[in-house]
Each structure stands twice: as C-alpha cells, then as structure tokens.
Amino acid sequence: MTQPLKISVVGGGPGGLYFAILMKKADPRHAITVYERNRTDDTFGFGVVFSDETLDNIQNADPETFDAIAKNFVYWGEIDIRVRGRVIRSDGHGFCGLERRTLLMLLQERARALGVELKFQTEIPDVASLPDSDLIVAADGINSAIRAKFADHFKPSFDWRKNKFAWCGTTKSFPAFTFDFRENEHGIWILGAYQYKPGMSTLVPECDEETWLRAGLDKADEAQTVAYLERTFADLLDGHPVLSNRSVWRNFPMIKNERWYRDNIVLIGDALHTAHYSIGSGTKLAMEDSIALAGSFAAKQSVADALAHYETTRREEVEKTQHAADVSLVWFEKPRRFWKLEPMQLAFSLLSRSKQITYDNLRRRDPEFGAEVDRWWAGKVRSELNFDVPTNNPLPPMFTPFRIGNMTVQNRVVVSPMNMYSAEPGNIPGDFHLVHLGKMAQGGAGLVFAEMTSVSEDARITPGCPGIYTPEQVKAWTRICNFVHANSEAKFCLQIGHAGRKGSTRLGWEGMDQPLIEGNWPIVSASPLRYRKDSALPTEISRAGMTAVRESFVRAARHAHQAGFDMIELHMAHGYLLSSFISPLTNQRSDGYGGSLDNRMRYPLEVFDAVREAWPADKPMSVRISASDWVPGRGLDIDDAIEITRMLKARGLDIIDVSAGQTSIEARPVYGRMFQTPFSDAIRSEVQMPTITVGNITTADQVNTIVAAGRADLVALARPHLVNPNFTLAASAYYGCDIQKWPDPYLAGKDQAFRLTERDNAEMAQLREQARAPITQRRAAFLASRG
C-alpha cells in the first residue's frame, strides 16, 4: 500500500489495537483511530493464553510488542490431567498466560507511542458516522453491531453449543495448565485452570446442562456460583478463594461468516469467528487476524484488493482452527463417553481430541509420557485381551494384536475395501485381484478386505465388479484366499453387498455413479427414488424381491466360507440396497418396512439374521454402516447409528465398520484428517462394541493415535495402501518394531529399511530440535528470570 489511509477501528480489544499498531508501524502516515465503548481499563475475564506458535507470530510481526508481553507473561510447558485421584503430567507443550488487563494496557501504550488515536467510552452506533474512513475494521466482538447491521451481506451463522461454562479466577497459582475431572451428586465436572500472573489463575468450570440444572445453578447469582465452585473443588483450591468478574454461566457460540468484508468494512476477531476456548483463546485468533490483515495491506495496492487477499489467504487457517475447536468441544459435551476410560486413556484422549496433537507428536514433546502411554497400553492388552505382549519394551498400539470373535489379527491395520472395477468377463476376480490383494496381504496389515462383491448379477455396481454367485467366481476367490493365507499372516474378509439404486453404472474412472450408456440392467431400491438427477429410476423392491435378495446374500456367505475367507462383512452403507432401507432420505415406504427406525431396520436385520445363521459360528461377521447421512437437520445422525449398532449387536454382530455419507447427493460432509473417527468413537463408547474406523486416515501416527485414545479398535486405510501396499511394513521400520512379520523373501529389504529409517529419524529429530530452538531459549529465559 503506497497511499496513506484513514482507518477507523471499532473495538479496542487486543485484535483492534494490534491491527492499529501494525498498520501505523508499517506507514506512520496512516491516520488511525480506535473507538472503544468501555473505559480505558475496563476488562472482563481474567487471563489470556498464547501458544508458542502465536508468540512467534507476534514476535515476527512486532518485536516491540512481543518484548513488552514477554516481560509480563507466565510461561509453562506442562499440562496436568487430574482424574480419580491421579495427576498425569504431559510436558513440552509451550504456552504463556497473561493478564487480560495488562495486555490491553501494553497494547494501548504501544499504540499511543506510534501515534494511534484512542477514543474510549465512544459508541459507534452506525458506520455512517465514519463517512471519511478509507477502511473500517469491525473488531467489536461477539455481539458485533456492524456485523448485525449488514447481516444480509455477511451472512453470519450461530451455533450455540450445549455445555455451560463460566469465567472465574483464583489466587492459587497452578504450576501447569490443569484439567480437573470429577463427579459429584449432580454430575461430571470439568475444570480448566492456568496461571496468568504470579498469585493469580483463571478457572473455567464446565458441565453439561443437565448437571448444571441439577446443581441449581440456573437460579444462582455470582456469589452462589462462587460458593458452589469453592465447595466442589475445595481440595484443588487448597483454601484459595474463587473470584468472579461477570462470572455468569453461558453457552459458547460458534460463529462463522459467509463473507468477511463489505466494501471498505472488514470483520476481525470474535465479530468474524469464534473458536472454543479449549484449544486456545479468542484473543490469539484476533491478533493473528490482525497480522494477516496488515500483511494483506503490505501486499496489495488498494483497499479492495487487500481485503480480498485477507479473506482468501486467512480463511483456510481460520476454518482449520474452527474445525479443530469444534472437534475439541464435542469431546467435552459428552462427558459420559470419556468418563468410562481409564485415567491414562482419558488423558491421552483429551490431549489428542482436536487432532492437533497426535501419538508421535506427544512422543517428541515428552518422550517419558509417550513411553508411559505405550506401557499402559501393553498392560491393557495383556489384562483385557490376554495377549502376551511385552511391557518392558512395549509395542506401539498399532502393532498389538486384537481379537474379533474367535479370530485374532496380528495388528490394528486394515486394508479397506476398495472398488477396483477390474473383474474379468463373468465378473470373475482374476490376475489383477490376485496381485492387488496378494500384495496388500504381504504388506503386513492385520486384516485385508476384498472390495464390495456382488451377491447376484443384478446386484453389481458396474460391469467390472466381481461377484460370488457362480462356481467360476468361487473358484477364483479360492485361488486368492489360498495365496493370502500361504504368503502372509493377514486375515481375509469378503465384503458382500447389493448396489441397489447405485447399480448399473459406469466404471469409476469413466464416470462415477453415472448410468451406463448401454447394457443397463434393472435396478431396485427401498423406494423409487433416483440417486442423481441423471441416474436411472429404480423400482421399489417387492416382498418377493426382498426374499430373493436375502437368499442371494445367504448364498454369498456360504460361497465365501467355501472359498476360505476368514470373515465377511455385510454392506449396509453408502446408499446401496440395504442402506436405502435404513436412511429416511431413501426409504419412503408406507408398508411395515418404512417409517420408524425400527421398521426401516426390519429388512436389513432380516438379511443379517439369515447370513449370520449361514455363516459359521466360529467365524466373525462385520457390518458397514453410514453413521450419518451428512444432511443437516435430516436423515441419519449419530444417535440413529448408535441404535442401529445396538440392534446388530443383539443379533450376534462381532464388529461394526463405521463409515458415513454417500447415501444422498445432498450430503455436506465436513472433511479433514480422520474426519469420520468421531462416529466410531461415539458408537464404541455408547454400545461397548468393537469398531473399525475409516475416512482420510493416512499415517501410522494417526493409526496409533486412534487406537490408543480408544476411538476404534481397528483402523482402515484405503488410498494410502494404493500408494504403498507395504504401509504396515514401512511403519514397523519407522517405529523399530521387529515383532511385525515380514515375508521371508523381503527380509533383506527389512534390514535395509530399519537402518535407513533409523538414520532418517535421527536427522529429522535434529531438524525439529533446531526449529524449536527459539522456543526452548524463550522458556529457559523465562525460568531464569523467575529464579
């Protein structure tokens, strides 16, 4: 930006002040005024928290502001988790606490020194009162009047979350960021506490609404709230009082805006977005907004271009943070789920809840804590599953065995079923399937799935899908089963299904879910509804047709046993025939198979019962479900999935394979790393049912994280195995896990892989240590300054 601007900042919180500082520093010619409705030293709440990453951003953007903050912050790297009489400490995290009032005073002083005009006790009821401004920055908080004025343009959304919380303080100094979990006669309580200056700490008590109501806090004033908290957390507070400052109970609002700016008006901070306090502070986000916005003005020559650049470059980071915050807060909203966990698993689940911290990440931050997780996990596997795993040199969780029914898998890695559309004429699995699945089995995974295999000719998805309804097909599958069992320790599972309304379509690379140009066959579904506008119209399946399909599933199960499969899975997900009965979006029947969930499950359960009876009792059986239709306000949700799993468990299901979506083109999934794992976590906890989780899981680190946190028992990966069929073998080299079985002809490669990986790990550790050097030095300087 080469021309000076007249800038009006509405809102004198940290975000607004810091933007004014950065812009004035960049060009002293800018005329910048900050308008704040409160007095200069008014502030509500107690302390704010910054991570090491945020401190680095502040230091790079304005070293003078950073230096002022650094003289006043309290630094710590430890997190204490207190639960059931234990205190579990994890180190290496890196945060600083700072009094909110002190931060405001520092920023005000810095702004004045640079020539920013500050006007307190000044309301800006309408931006029309700022007619000469080249830029108006709306930093006016959660209840932003500017956002409300132009709501039709910004299109804000508000998701008021379920839990109740309050901001409080205490004179007790906590040595670490502390989470305290406890249960009293009213319910489960979660307390977050951190020191923000010597002799002062922030307290954030939280509970679900039912606990809050049972405690009578809906009728409590601030004094009564303080008294209740002092009684509840008396042993933790050691006689120190709970302090209040507008410490009223509230619900957290997740705020998003479809648009970030209008003409010369731009939103920042809480006016623009919120992220749950469990992963950081709104202050952190607001100041990082200011850094990004000021950087956009440095990069562009006009206000319009700068604001567009700001939204484009900053949005992804904000959305990632909000997604992590949403995952984090959901963890806290279901306390009964994690309350069942052992203390160590609860601690690990807490630390890894938002996916920002993982198994490997924790091992690097705090090697002793990582080793303790491994020791605890080994003890759990020994005591609960009766496997003779080592505890003195424990295995990473992914390399521990698991039992599905009477079947043992050597590790927790699953090759997910992947449609290959490559069957030979007659829908026979041929050499491609032998090589493809054989290679996957040799790659070390504990369980390998064959792709969804059709139970009849008209059950196919595409002309290239394999079947298991003819003798030739059974013979071909037998050949593949024999190879898998002779050349690996992998267990082999056949997923059987009927495509329903998603059948008679082209090969995946020729047009996914698009109807065949010629050679179509009749398709059926629970109701006569097209999958896509251009899809063929299915016929509503009749009772006679349902019986015939059921018997084709029974035949497929018998053929799978004949071929030598160790396990079968019924496909009740992704909009295929059985799935179309389950989802209310695709089942509009008026007979006994439509309407309520019980009715919609009648036919899928009928098929399950028939297959379970035909499948040998000593072999396990799985079902894949779509735990959510991903259609907000309609369709299946996790509560439905929990009930579906309960129904299947009562009928003898051994494990549930938890996927989501692909049932409707209206689906709006929220993608991200391990994005479907929360469904598995909920089902596993609520139903006490073993689960397989799927969905954008790409690394061994993620597998370990999911298993150790108790979010699933097995972890299925698809595309990573296409890229590297030896995924599990490579992971064994990475972790130095010599217990993993390698094929004998590959042993020379194993030796080399272990040597090279050990060297690469050492080099990477050195690079990470160099990258963290400024953080390590900062912490050392703080500790030295405090004696």
CA pair distance 189, 233, nearest whole angstrom: 10
CA distance linking residue 693 with residue 649, whole number of Å: 17
Q: For tokens 């650049």, what's the residue?
A: 309
Cβ pair 728, 444 in contact under 8 A: yes
Nearest CA among 452, 650, 401, 689 for reference residue 568: 452
Report the run of H or E that residue 226 belongs to, with start and end: helix 222-232
Tokens 């089995």 -> residue:
441
Q: Which of 653, 690, 695 is nearest to 678 (CA)?
A: 695
Kindly give the interhelix angle for 431-442 and 471-487, rounded to the nearest 10 degrees.
Answer: 30
Q: Is 593 annotated as catalytic?
A: no
Strand partners, 526: none
What DSSP string runs through 373-397? HHHHHHHHHHHHH-----SSSPPPG
Measuring CA to CA, which residue among 223, 222, 229, 224 is closest to residue 247?
222
**Cα dihedral 115/120/122/125 (nearest 10):** 80
Letter string b/e over residues 333-357, b meaning 16 or more CB atoms within 10 A of that residue's CB: ebbebbeebebbbbbbbbbbbbbbb
From the list 421, 576, 593, 735, the catalytic residue is: 576
Strands 187-197 and 177-184: antiparallel
CA–CA gap between residue 678 and residue 658 (Å, rounded): 10
Structure-token match 């990440």, residue found: 361
Q: What are phi and psi of 598, to 5 degrees?
A: -55, -45
Residue whose token pair is 């409080």: 168
Question: Which residue type, as a one-letter code, is found at position 735?
Answer: Y
Pair 685, 331: CB distance under 8 Å: no
CA distance 620 to 714: 14
- Interatomic CA distance for residues 785 and 787, integer angstroms: 5
d(CA 235, CA 158) in angstroms, rounded, equals: 37
- Of 607, 605, 677, 611, the C-alpha closest to 645 is 605
CB neighbourhood size of 419 (10 A) = 18
DSSP-derived secondary structure for 33-97? EEE-SS-TT---SSEEEEEHHHHHHHHHH-HHHHHHHHTT-EEE--EEEEETTEEEEE----EEE
Tokens of 22: 């950065």
C-alpha 590/C-alpha 401 separation (Å) is 47
Beta carbons within 8 Å of 287's beta carbon, 6+ residues apart: 14, 15, 18, 54, 57, 58
Angle, helix 282-299 to helix 52-61, in steps of 10 degrees: 40
Collect all residues with Cβ–Cβ distance below 8 Å to 270 and sequence separation of at least 6.
15, 141, 142, 144, 255, 282, 286
305 near 311, Cβ under 8 Å? no
Number of H helices and number of E strands within the chain? 29, 30
Nearest CA-CA partner of 375 in 389, 365, 385: 389
Distance CA 600, CA 579 (A): 10
Helix (H) or strand (E) holding 494: strand 491-497
Which amino acid appears at position 625 of this protein?
I
Distance CA 674, CA 355 (A): 8
Contact 120, 38 (CB under 8 A): yes
Catalytic residues: 576
